[in-house]
Amino acid sequence: MEVLRLEDYKNLGFNVRDTFGNYISYYKDGKWDEGKIQKEDTITISAFSTALHYGQQAFEGLKAYRTKDGKINLFRVDENAKRLQNSCDQILMPKVPTEKFIDAIKQVVKVNEELVPPYGYGASLYIRPYVIGVGRNLGVKAAPEYIFGVLCSPVGSYFKGGLSPVNFVVTDRDRAAPNGTGQVKVGGNYAASLYSHRQAKEAGYADCIYLDPLTHTKIDEVGAANFFAVTKDMTFVTPSSSSILPSITKKSLMHIAKEYLNMNVEVRDVYINNLDEFSEAGACGTAAAITPIGRIDYHNQQHVFYSETEVGPVTRKLYDTLTGIYFGDIKAPEGWITQL
Ligand code: PLP
Ligand code: COI
């Protein structure tokens, strides 16, 4: 087992690290078993499993944060439970009841308590619940059996630089269809994103930006994160779209913008040819937290928001409030934090 020194927590990146165990539960004959913690992060399944051939699988992502007084905070875990239920519903998998979901996450965090990074390093324990269709199956149909599991790993920033601005390029490819599975967290959307992600990375960008798949005129998402921007008159704007994942971070930022920062909030179209209306922009998500967007390149145009090197004042306030809530330094709205 790899031992992390305090120094290591500053540069964890977003990688798999050794842990003390993960959770696994099987669904057979129409019901979930009790589930248990296992040591190895391996599973044995039939190679005929629908998860492997037809992408019948869904996952979630959330984090556990260490507070100043050494406690552990889970952020809006009930929202992840709900979203996983919706994902399961959309691809014909049995739902994991909310209590089972939360209990599994608590068990995993408990067994890996020592791996929740210390307060003050900007790091956290990333938690990865998943549901996969398993069992022997050949035709395109729902699997006979399922596994619900929860993995974890201590992580730092998803995009290099933490709160430093990074640049993105608009891709001509789509990750999801207008009436497809963009709104749920299923593996197919991520397989569809690998090619454009690599193209963007190879061209020196942090990731790519997807436009709406129907008209290719409006911003949809920023890689594996949602997009937000701030207008010159302090309105928090985020795209309205049927093909993006409903981000829990975005939903939380909308509340923070309105209730903590006294801003207006608008969910509406964000035209790629009208970025001048914004003074700041960013990517938001569990893994990304808030990542300021320095510049967006689109065909031959380059658009710089606040700065390519400095974070804008509103983005910083949003970041400080959100992370203050995560780490227990700022009072959270009722029900947002589950303490272990
Ligand atoms: N969009 C995509 C495609 C994602 O994978 C994620 C990550 O979960 C998000 C947005 C952000 O969602 P959340 O804030 O719930 O983590
Ligand atoms: C998250 O933010 O939790 C994600 O799932 C993003 C990515 C690592 C898939």
The ipTM is 0.97
Distance 195 CA to ligand 1 centre (A): 18
286 lines ligand 2 (CB under 6 A): yes
129 lines ligand 2 (CB under 6 A): no
Q: Is the pTM above the cut of 0.95? A: yes
Q: What is the mean pLDDT of the chain?
A: 96
Residue 161 vs residue 158, higher pLDDT: 158
Residue-wise pLDDT for 38-48, tens only, equals: 999 999 999 99
pLDDT at residue 160 is higher than 80 = no
Residue-wise pLDDT for 304-328, tens only, equals: 999 999 999 999 999 999 999 999 9
Distance 138 CA to ligand 1 centre (A): 32
Residue 95 vs residue 4, higher pLDDT: 95
Atom of ligand 1 nearest to the CA of 251: 14
For ligand 1, atom 11, which residue shows the shortest CA distance?
285
What confidence tier does 1 reach under pLDDT thresholds 50, 70, 90? confident
Atom of ligand 2 nearest to the CA of 59: 5
- Ligand nearest the Cα atom of residue 222: 1
| Every domain of the chain and the residues it spans | 6-155, 166-326
Distance 62 CA to ligand 1 centre (A): 10
224 lines ligand 2 (CB under 6 A): yes
Q: What is the pLDDT of residue 6?
A: 86
Distance 28 CA to ligand 2 centre (A): 29
For ligand 1, atom 4, which residue shows the shortest CA distance?
224
Which CATH entry fits the domain spanning 166-326: 3.20.10.10, 2.10.109.10, 1.10.260.40, 3.40.190.10?
3.20.10.10
Residues with active-site annotation = 185
pLDDT at residue 136 is higher than 70 = yes
Atom of ligand 2 nearest to the CA of 286: 2
Reading the block at residue 17, the tokens are: 């690290």
Q: What is the pLDDT of residue 95?
A: 98
pLDDT, average across residues 260-264: 97
What confidence tier does 161 reach under pLDDT thresholds 50, 70, 90? low
Judge: domain 6-155, CATH 3.40.50.300.
Answer: no
Q: What is the pLDDT of residue 245?
A: 98
Residue-wise pLDDT for 193-245, tens only, equals: 999 999 999 999 999 999 999 999 999 999 999 999 999 999 999 999 999 99
Pocket lined around ligand 1, Cβ cut-off 6 Å: 61, 221, 224-226, 245, 247-250, 285-286
